[in-house]
Amino acid sequence: MKRIVCEACGHSNAEGTVLCQSCGKPIEKNQHIDGNEKTKLLNMRYDGSARRSQTYNKSFVDKIWNFFSSVKVGVWLIVLTLLASALGTIFPQEMYIPQDVQPLDHYREQYGIAGQIYYQLGLHNLYSSWWYMILIALIGISIVVASIDRVVPLYKALKMQKPKRHETFLKRQRLFSQTNQPSLNDKEKFLERLKSKRYKLTEEDGHILAEKGRFTRWGPYVNHLGLIIFLIGALLRFVPFMYIDEFVWVREGETLPIKGTEREYYIENNDFIFETYDEEEDRKFAEALQNQSAPVASNYQTDAVIYRNHEAELVGAEPDLEKVKEGSIRVNHPLKIDGFSLYQSSYQSEFSTMSFYIHETDDKDEQELANFTVDLSNPVNHYELDNGFEVELVRYMPDYYLDDGEPKSKTDYPNNPAFVFAVYPPDASEPEYSFAGIGRNIDATGENDYKIALNGFDVQYVTGLAVKRDYTLPILMIGGLIFMIGVVQGLYWQHRRIWIHPKGNELWVAAHTNKNWYGLKREIDTLMEDTSLIRVVDQQEQK
C-alpha cells in the first residue's frame, strides 16, 4: 500500500488521508475527498483519516463497499423502510383479521376496492414479504459496512494525534482565537480551569492539547454493533432448535403432554379461573363499568401442575409422571420450566356433560320416564335406563352444523353437541330414532311414541396455553443493551478538543467538538472569564 509522508512533520500516512494523522496539516492532493478545497474551515469528520470508501473506487467490490458505506444510502434505506412500515398499517395485517373468513373477501367487503388492491399487492402480509425483509437486510449490511469503513481509521487517527498541530490545521478550525502577548498567569488560569472541567491535558514543546470525552466517538459503532446482534438474534428464530412455538388446549381435570417438549413434560389443568370486575366490589370503577356493555375481565388463570415424564425416550411407553412444579399461569405471569414458558393465551367454555330424559310424545306434561347423562369427553354408546328403556348413541357430532342439509361436525370440540339416539322402549324390539341437540329435538320419522328432551348440561373451561421456548431472547437482550449503551455513550457526551498553541508573542486557541458547538463555545467562554485571553470566535457563523 502506498504511504504519504507529511511534508511538515514527516509522519507516514495511509493513502487517502486528508489531514495528517499526526500534525493535522492538510495533505494537498487529497483535499477534494472531504471538500476542503474551497472552504475556509476543514471538514473534521473522522479527523481527515483515510477511509476505504473514499480512497478506492475501481473494482466491483469497491463500488459495492462505497455504496453501502454511504450515510446517504443508509438514510434512504431508513426512509424507505419507514414508508413501507407505514403502508402496512393502513389496513389490518392478515394476522389481525378474523380467522374464519377468506382474506380476499374480508378485505374487499370491509375496505372496498382499496382493500382488494391492498390484498392483491400482498400488503396484508407486508412485514413478512420478501422485499421488506430485503430492506431490513440492506440496512443491516449498510450498518456493518459504514461502521467498519469509519471506525478503524478514526480509531487510528485519534490514537495517533499529537498536541502540536500544524498552523493551517489550527487556523482552519471552526472555533479559533489569537491573543497577542497573553499574561502567563492568564494562560495558567485557563489550563487549571480546563483540568477542573476534567479535560485531559497533554503537552509537547509547550503546545497543549486539552481533550475530553473521546470515548463518546465510539458510541455510534457500539450502538451499530448492538443493532447487528439484535438483527442476528431475530434471524436465528428461523433455526428450528432456537425457537419453539406451540399451543395446547387443556380441559379442567385433564392431564396432557405439553406440545413441543417431545412428551417430556405434561400439564394438568386443576382449575381455570375467569374473573370479572364487579360494580359492587370494585366501587371505584363503577362508573367506568356502567359505561361498558360487557363485563370487564379482571383475571384469566390456570392452576396447573407440571409433570416430568421419565419414559419420554421410549416411544409408545406409558408415561411415568413425576410432579415437578405447581403454580398458577396468569396473563403477564407465565409459568417457566426448563426453558419453556407457558402463557395464558386463551380459553373456551365447552359442554362437559349433557343429560336427557324420555317422555311420551303425546304427554303434554312431558312426565319423565327415564333419564341418562352423556359424558362428552368420553361418550358411552349404550345406556340401560329405568323402566326398561335402553338407549343407543348412534352418532355424536361435538360441533354440529348443517353442510348442505347434511349434519356434520365442524371440530372435535363440544361447542355445539348434537346426537342421534336409538331409543329401545321396554315394550318394543325395534328402536325409534331421535335427533337431539341444543334447541333441537327432531323425530326422524314423525311416528315416535317417545321423545328425548334435554334435561340439563354442565359446562367446563378449556384453557389455551401458548408454549414457547425461545433461545434467541438472550441474544436480543444483549443486542438491545449494547445498543442502549452505545446510543447513550454517543449522544449524552461530546468529544471536545482544545489546542493551545504558542506562536511567537501570540497564543492561539483552536477548538473542535463532534457536536453541540454552542455548548463548547460557552464552556470556553466561561473558562476564559476574567482573563485577557481573546474569546474563541465561531468562524462558521461569520459567513
Partner 1 sequence: MDGLVSISSNFLYLAFVLYLAATFFFGGTIRSKNSTSSQTWVSRVAIGLTILGFLASVVYFILRWIASGHAPVSNLFEFTTFFGMMLVLAFIVMYFIYRLNILGLFVLPVALLIIAYASMFPTELSPLVPSLKSHWLYIHVTTVSLGEAVLAVSFAAGLIYLIKEVDQSYRSKRTTWLEIIIYSLYATLGFVVISSIFSATDYNATFEVTNESGVSTLEYHLPAITGPADGTLVTTDRMEPWFDTPGWMNGAEAPRKFNTLLWSFAVGLVFYLITRLILRKRIAAAIQPYLRKVNSDLVDEISYRAVAIGFPIFTLGGLIFAMIWAQEAWNRYWGWDPKEVWALITWFFYAAFLHLRLSQGWHGEKSAWLAVVGFAIIMFNLIAVNLVLAGLHSYA
Name the site residues for partner 1 (rule: CB under 8 A). Answer: 45, 71-72, 74-75, 78-79, 81-82, 85-86, 88-89, 92-93, 95-96, 110-112, 114-115, 127, 277, 282-285, 287-289, 291, 296-300, 330-334, 341, 343-345, 466, 468, 473, 476, 480, 483-484, 487-488, 491-492, 514-519, 538, 541
Least gap, CB of 243 to partner 1 (angstroms): 11
For 385-445, list the strands marked E by DSSP.
Answer: 390-397, 400-403, 406-409, 418-424, 432-437, 440-443
Q: Of 85, 464, 504, which is closest to residue 247 (Cα–Cα)?
A: 464
Least gap, CB of 329 to partner 1 (angstroms): 11
**DSSP single-letter state for residue 360:** E
Least gap, CB of 74 to partner 1 (angstroms): 6
Pick the closer one to partner 1 by CB: 409 or 513: 513
Q: Of 94, 79, 98, which is closest to residue 127 (Cα–Cα)?
A: 94
- Residue 369: alpha-carbon gap to chain centroid: 63
Pick the closer one to partner 1 by CB: 84 or 394: 84
Pick the closer one to partner 1 by CB: 297 or 324: 297
CB distance 268 to 305 below 8 Å? yes
Pick the closer one to partner 1 by CB: 201 or 466: 466
Least gap, CB of 518 to partner 1 (angstroms): 4
Backbone angles phi and psi of 431, in degrees to 5? -80, 160
Pick the closer one to partner 1 by CB: 291 or 445: 291
What is the amino acid identity at position 261? T
Pick the closer one to partner 1 by CB: 332 or 445: 332
Least gap, CB of 427 to partner 1 (angstroms): 49
Backbone angles phi and psi of 480, in degrees to 5? -65, -40
Pick the closer one to partner 1 by CB: 347 or 433: 347
Least gap, CB of 287 to partner 1 (angstroms): 4
State the Cα torsion 273-277-280-281 to the nearest 10°: 60
Pick the closer one to partner 1 by CB: 82 or 442: 82
Pick the closer one to partner 1 by CB: 79 or 438: 79
Least gap, CB of 400 to partner 1 (angstroms): 23
Q: 262 CB contacts (<8 Å, ≥6 apart)?
A: 312
Name the residue with cell 446517504. 72
Which residues is 374 bridged to in the sheet? 354
Least gap, CB of 341 to partner 1 (angstroms): 7
**Rounded Cα distance, 265 and 312, in Å:** 8
Residues found in the chain: 543
Pick the closer one to partner 1 by CB: 444 or 484: 484
Q: Which three cell numbers, joined as nine digits, stand for 524?
A: 470556553
Least gap, CB of 37 to partner 1 (angstroms): 17
Backbone angles phi and psi of 383, in degrees to 5? -125, 125
Least gap, CB of 370 to partner 1 (angstroms): 41
Backbone angles phi and psi of 116, in degrees to 5? -65, -45
- Residue 67: alpha-carbon gap to chain centroid: 29
DSSP codes, 121-162:
TTGGGGGGSHHHHHHHHHHHHHHHHHHHHHHHHHHHHHHH--
